[in-house]
Every structure is written in C-alpha cells, then in structure tokens.
C-alpha cells in the first residue's frame, strides 16, 4: 500500500529514480522489521545454496568431545564435565596466513635448479619483503617450498624480516591440484599428476590452513612462500568454494594472499594476490 501511494506520488510529481530506490528500501525495511529490529537474512526463509561447514578443519571443539556413555544415564556433573572439556579445547586466537607467490623465474629452465629467479623476480621478492616489514606484524615463522624459485624468494624476503624462524617443506611444491573447470586447452598435465600432486597439495592444506590450537593465546602471523597453483587451491578450499575453480584466479609474482582463520572456524580472505605495493612496471604474472 505504501509503495502504491509512493508510485502515484512519483508519477504526479516527476520524482526521479533515486527517490524510487530510497522508497523501495524503506518498504523493504518496514516489511522485515519486527519490534524495531531488522531481521537477519537467515530469518527470512532464505536458504543458502551451500551452508558453511564449521568443522571443515576437523577441529570444531564440539566434534572433539564426546559424552561418556559407559554408565547409564547422564548426570548434571557429566554435562558440566563435557562443557568444561569443550571450553578447554576451544581456541581463542586467530591465525593470519600470508601466502607469498615466488618472484618471476627463468621459465626456460629444464630442471628445477635452472628455474631460478630473474633479476626482475629478485626485485619483486625484495619489494615483498619490504611490504611485510612495513606491515609491522610479529611473524612467528617463514615457511617455503623447497623449489629453487621459492627458496630464493624466501631468502630475499627474510632480509627484511630477520630473526623469523625458517622452515622448508616438499609438501608445498608446485603441482596440479585438481582438474580445473572449465578446462584450459594449453595446459594438459598427465592424469597421474593430478592424483599425485592433488593428494600432496590437499595434505599441505590440512597441515597449514586450520584454526589455532587452544594453547595459542595471541593472534599469529605466518608467512608461507610457495606457488600460484597451491595458493589458488588453498583459497578455494579455505572459503569452501568449488576447488575446481582454482584456475579462474590469477596471482602476480611476489603477491600476498592473506587468509585469516578465526577461533570459531570462520575464514576470511583479506587480500588475494595483492601487489599494489609494487610499481606497475615491476609486476608480472607469467
């Protein structure tokens, strides 16, 4: 009724589109308002196409604590014990994961040893290290893939954030995580490569992307230097998007992808392939 009267008013008084939009908002506000409170989307019978799985990392404290069924009946003390155990296993800190794609490298190299950083790639890594320093976080670890281009990038980054403990791991090496959808014609790995790399990269995701341990009392900032395919797959998995969408994302060399994992199991993507701290003539993607 309100909308009909307003439309008539608009017709008679030549009110513009902006006024109509404002009126529409007012009507919607009134429709979903009860006792002065606007209803949240999940109270308006809206059904999401995919619901968030809070136990995606298998660390939801409610799933880790099972009531004792050895004795008959459940006492108030039993319930209190379960409640206390859940509280003990509930994280209170967030994990901030900063994934760095390595710098530009020699793509003509036949072996990993020959796929070293170009001069441009070294400059990109240096700028990335400076950016991390300027961000001013207390980094707890600097992890890198064992591939030459990733190790060299991590070495350069480490100069800007010295005294951060270093780690290297084969599990973060580049690979083919899962057949992409839609497929791309100029990139056709062997089918076995998906099986081999996919299992390894998924294992890397489970190792590095998860909520904090309950013993962690303050937020952590961890730097991980690895590869575009690995990072893109991690982003899709962490956000519970179709993992086969990974190839639709693009990351510049030396870029920063920042994922935050909250104690509740919620995940936020702070930045995807950020490289705005580099001059335009220094950026590259291939």
Domain assignment present for residue 181? The answer is yes
Structure tokens at 278: 């580099």
Same domain (yes/no): 85, 151: no
pLDDT digits (tens, 9 = 90+) for 146-170: 999 999 999 999 999 999 999 999 9
Same domain (yes/no): 227, 211: yes
Domain assignment present for residue 49? The answer is no
Predicted pLDDT at 57: 97
CATH of the domain at 261: 3.40.50.1240
Q: Is 149 marked as binding a ligand?
A: yes
Q: Which of 226, 233, 281, 235 is nearest to 255 (CA)?
A: 226
Same domain (yes/no): 178, 82: no
pLDDT digits (tens, 9 = 90+) for 205-255: 999 999 999 999 999 999 999 999 999 999 999 999 999 999 999 999 999
**Structure confidence at residue 80 as a pLDDT band (50, 70, 90):** confident
pLDDT at residue 14 tops 90: no
Predicted pLDDT at 43: 66
Cα atoms in the 13 Å half-sphere on the side-chain side of 2: 11
Predicted pLDDT at 3: 45
Domain span at residue 175 reads: 95-282
Same domain (yes/no): 171, 208: yes
pLDDT at residue 276 tops 70: yes
Predicted pLDDT at 38: 57
Q: Report how many domains make up the chain.
A: 3
Domain assignment present for residue 178? The answer is yes
Q: How many CB atoms lie within 10 A of CB 125?
A: 28
pLDDT digits (tens, 9 = 90+) for 83-129: 889 999 999 999 999 999 999 999 999 999 999 999 999 999 999 99
The C-alpha atoms of residue 42 and residue 49 are separated, in whole angstroms, by 12
Phi, psi (rounded to 5 degrees) for 150: -75, -40
Q: How many CB atoms lie within 10 A of CB 242?
A: 12
Same domain (yes/no): 228, 128: yes
Same domain (yes/no): 86, 100: no
- The answer to whether the peptide bond before residue 222 is cis (omega within 30 degrees of 0) is no
């Amino acid at each position: 009724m309100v909308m009909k009267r307003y439309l008539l008013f608009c017709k008679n008084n030549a009110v513009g589109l902006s006024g109509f939009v404002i009126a529409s908002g007012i009507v919607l506000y009134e429709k979903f308002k009860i006792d002065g409170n606007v209803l949240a989307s999940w109270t308006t019978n809206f059904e999401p196409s995919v619901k968030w799985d809070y136990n995606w990392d298998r660390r939801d404290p409610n799933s880790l604590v099972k009531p004792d069924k050895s004795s008959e009946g459940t006492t108030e003390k039993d319930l209190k014990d379960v409640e206390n155990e859940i509280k003990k296993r509930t994280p209170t800190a967030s994990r901030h994961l900063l994934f760095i794609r390595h710098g530009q490298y020699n793509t003509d190299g036949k072996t990993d040893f020959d796929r070293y950083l170009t001069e441009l790639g070294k400059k990109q890594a240096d700028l990335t290290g400076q950016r991390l320093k300027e961000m001013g976080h207390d980094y707890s670890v600097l992890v890198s893939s064992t591939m030459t281009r990733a190790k060299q990038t991590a070495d350069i980054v480490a100069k800007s954030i010295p005294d951060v403990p270093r780690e290297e791991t084969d599990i973060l090496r580049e690979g083919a995580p899962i057949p992409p959808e839609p497929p791309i014609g100029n990139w056709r790995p062997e089918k076995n490569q998906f099986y081999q790399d996919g299992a390894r990269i998924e294992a890397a995701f489970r190792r590095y992307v998860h909520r904090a341990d309950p013993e962690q009392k303050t937020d952590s900032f961890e730097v991980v230097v690895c590869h575009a395919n690995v990072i893109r797959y991690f982003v899709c998995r962490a956000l519970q998007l179709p993992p086969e969408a990974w190839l639709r994302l693009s990351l510049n060399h030396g870029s920063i992808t920042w994922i935050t994992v909250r104690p509740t199991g919620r995940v936020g993507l702070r930045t995807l392939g950020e490289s705005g701290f580099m001059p335009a003539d220094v950026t590259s993607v291939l």
